[in-house]
Amino acid sequence: MHISSLPSEYGIGTLGREAKDFADYLNRARIEYWQILPIGPTSYGDSPYQSFSSFAGNPYFVDLNTLCEEGLLSYDECRSTYWGDRADRVDYANMYEKRFPILWKACDNFREVINPGSERYKKEEKDAYDRFLSVNKEWVNDYALFMALKDAHGGKAWFEWEDDIKKRKQDAINEANNKYAKEVENYKIVQYFFDTQWTEFRKYLKEKEVKLIGDVPIYVAYDSVEVWKEPELFALDRNLEQKEVAGCPPDYFNENGQLWGNPIYNWKKMERDNFSWWMKRLRRVFDMHDVVRIDHFRGFSSYYSIDGKAENARNGKWVKGPGIKVFEQLKKELGNPQIIAEDLGFLTEDVFKLLDETGYPGMKVLQFAFDAGDGSNIYMPHNYNRNSVVYTGTHDNETTLGWLQNTSDWVRTNTFRYLNVTDSEGWVWGLIRAAHSSVAYLSVIQMQDYLSLGNDCRMNTPSTIGGNWEWRITREMLSDGLNDRIKEMNYRFGRASYGEK
């Protein structure tokens, strides 16, 4: 369950009290891992997988009540703002319009706190802010300028800006930093708020013995500060237009394939400096999480490349990726961090070989398991090995109830017979039991599945725009009865130990 899906009176889940209350709920249920989606600032389409930055945190997740407690905002100005009509959905259009003016007010007040000439001056706060800027100088300055420039250009993508700033001519950069100094500082301050609250959030999770699983999208957005800052690391031409883009080939579900539109990496150039860009990116994400899921892991083995001017993904080609070299360098620099490989989709021998070489656990999804009757499907529980992570479904799937309602009668019957699902147990809980009772070392269940919710609560439908990433829980959903049932299931299959933590 993503941070955005937490309850909140301000339209979207944040890192405040509700996040800690949810950690309490997980602790009582003896759930020891909480998996979230990427936490970067969201761009067009509101997807966490299309972010303006691979290093910054999402400003929407900054908790307003915490800023009120710190005297940087008033409760009245936060609560008098319209945040949407529904407590169970995020209204992203309204969020984009209303959230930033509130945050800018907090920034104005924070400037007084770090100004030695102000009556509100706090030296320890100024020192902490300066320390944050120093530790994060490799990314925060460029990110803040990038976002200030986007605002100045009415939200236009960087490749639509005037030539000098698009190509980062030094004089143009200097002029922009001077012209938009306040706006640039605003974005730095908001990242400081995020960092401070994230640190407190992680500290609380550790107290509750809940480990956080993060997520690294394999690709970055074309309209991102990383591509603007270092275009030579991507497959762009002299005019900074995309020569190649990422996607997936045509399959049973989509005759045109999937045209993601993300720029392809210039892997040869990256390899020449030992993948330093990737090492910085992974170091950042491991600083912020205990475990990391690497999205589209097969792209390191071989990736599907499509002409940058193509209208669909039909005529792409498979290209050999960097393979084990990236992960050998990762082990040299970061030791052996805990990684989950998202190895779903079109799998070939080279992908299985890379998984074996890295030793990372792959993913098993129960919704993919029961479309054949001979027991050979790799997602059927009897085919798992210990070094795997099982999911009832992922954020890109239907909810489990929705899938069971919409799949064919044959698949549903095959599922129920294999798992011995009964009406008294409940359809969805039969699959939760199957996940927990499998040999996979980790079992991950979507919150929607614990709640037995239908497809109106689905998180994302791939290749669609609008209506995605919006689902939220309400406080009433987190009942004691559900908590007890989750805890009993964890005990029954040895996924939690008895006794107080």
391's tokens:
């999911």
Q: Is the separation of the CB atoms in 57 and 48 below 8 Å? A: no
274's tokens:
């030992």
* Residue of 125, 132, 96 lying closest to 111 (CA atoms): 125
pLDDT band at 253 (very low <50, low <70, confident <90, very high): low
pLDDT band at 106 (very low <50, low <70, confident <90, very high): very high
Q: Among positive and negative, which fits the CA dihedral 160, 161, 164, 169?
A: negative
Which stretch of DSSP H or E encloses residue 272?
Answer: helix 267-272
179's tokens:
């012209």
Average pLDDT for residues 248-274, to the nearest whole number? 91
CA distance 331 to 282: 11
DSSP result, 68-131: HHTTSS-HHHHHTS---S-TTB--HHHHHHHHHHHHHHHHHHHHHHT-TTSTT--HHHHHHHHH
370's tokens:
């029961």
476's tokens:
């009433």
**pLDDT value of residue 121:** 95
What is residue 395's three-state secondary structure?
A: coil
Contacts of 375 (CB under 8 A, 6+ apart): 382, 383
Report how far apart, in Å, the C-alpha atoms of 381 and of each of 363, 434, 443, 446, 495 are.
12, 7, 12, 18, 16
| Location of structure tokens 């070939």 | 348
**pLDDT value of residue 254:** 81
pLDDT band at 499 (very low <50, low <70, confident <90, very high): very low
CA distance 23 to 122: 31
**pLDDT value of residue 466:** 87
Report how far apart, in Å, the C-alpha atoms of 98 and of each of 95, 187, 386 are.
5, 16, 47
CA distance 159 to 100: 24
Average pLDDT for residues 117-130, to the nearest whole number? 96
pLDDT band at 500 (very low <50, low <70, confident <90, very high): very low
Average pLDDT for residues 34-47, to the nearest whole number? 94
**pLDDT value of residue 497:** 65
* Residue of 470, 435, 437 lying closest to 456 (CA atoms): 470
**pLDDT value of residue 345:** 81
CA distance 262 to 47: 13
Q: Provide the H-helix boundaries in 342-460.
A: 349-358, 400-406, 409-419, 427-437, 447-450
Identify the residue with better confidence: 356 or 258.
Answer: 356
So which residues are the catalytic ones?
Answer: 295, 342, 396
Which stretch of DSSP H or E encloses residue 76?
Answer: helix 75-79
The pTM score is 0.96
CA distance 80 to 277: 43
In degrees, rounded to 5, the angle at the alpha carbon of residue 317 between the alpha carbons of residues 304 and 293 is 10
**pLDDT value of residue 501:** 39
**At how many degrees (to 10) do helices 349-358 and 324-334 cross?**
10
- For residue range 229-249, list pLDDT tens digits in order: 999 999 999 999 999 999 999
39's tokens:
């936490």
128's tokens:
């902490």
Neighbouring-strand partners of residue 364: 390
* Residue of 327, 334, 393 lying closest to 360 (CA atoms): 327
Q: Is the separation of the CB atoms in 439 and 385 below 8 Å? A: yes
- Give the 3-state secondary structure of 432-492: HHHHHHCCCCEEECCHHHHCCCCHHHCCCCCCCCCCCCCECCCHHHCCHHHHHHHHHHHHH
Average pLDDT for residues 324-329, to the nearest whole number? 98
Flag whether pLDDT at 442 surpasses 60. yes
53's tokens:
């930055």
**pLDDT value of residue 464:** 85
CA distance 330 to 283: 9
Flag whether pLDDT at 3 surpasses 60. yes
pLDDT band at 154 (very low <50, low <70, confident <90, very high): very high
Which stretch of DSSP H or E encloses residue 283?
Answer: helix 276-288
Which stretch of DSSP H or E encloses residue 13?
Answer: none
